[in-house]
C-alpha cells in the first residue's frame, strides 16, 4: 500500500506510477496535501489555502 511522503495519505499504485519520479515507490506530494503541491516536476509550498 503506497502512501504520500508528505501527509501519509493513501495513494493508489496507478497514482504513484504516473506522478512519482522514476525509481520511487511512493509520491512526494498528493492531492490531499494542503501545504505543498506539484509544480511540473518540482514540489513547492502552497501559496494559499487549498481549502478542501
Domain contains 50: no
Q: Provide the domain limits for residue 33.
A: 2-45
Domain contains 30: yes
Structural domain count, the chain: 1
Tell me: the pLDDT tens digits for 21-31? 888 899 999 98
Domain contains 17: yes
Full-model pTM:
0.72
Domain contains 11: yes
DSSP for the chain? -EE-TTT--EE-HHHHHHHSPTT-SS-S--TT-SSEEEETTEEEE-SS----
- pLDDT grade for 43, boundaries at 50, 70 and 90: confident
Count other C-beta atoms under 10 Å from residue 5's C-beta: 17
Which residues face 29 on adjacent strands?
Answer: none
Q: What is the DSSP letter of 21?
A: P
6 neighbors 28 (Cβ within 8 angstroms): yes
Domain contains 52: no
Amino acid at each position: 500500500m503506497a502512501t504520500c511522503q508528505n501527509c501519509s495519505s493513501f495513494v493508489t499504485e496507478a497514482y504513484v506510477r504516473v506522478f512519482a519520479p522514476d525509481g520511487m515507490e511512493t509520491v512526494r506530494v498528493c492531492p490531499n496535501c494542503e501545504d505543498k503541491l506539484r509544480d511540473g516536476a518540482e514540489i513547492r509550498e502552497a501559496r494559499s489555502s487549498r481549502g478542501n
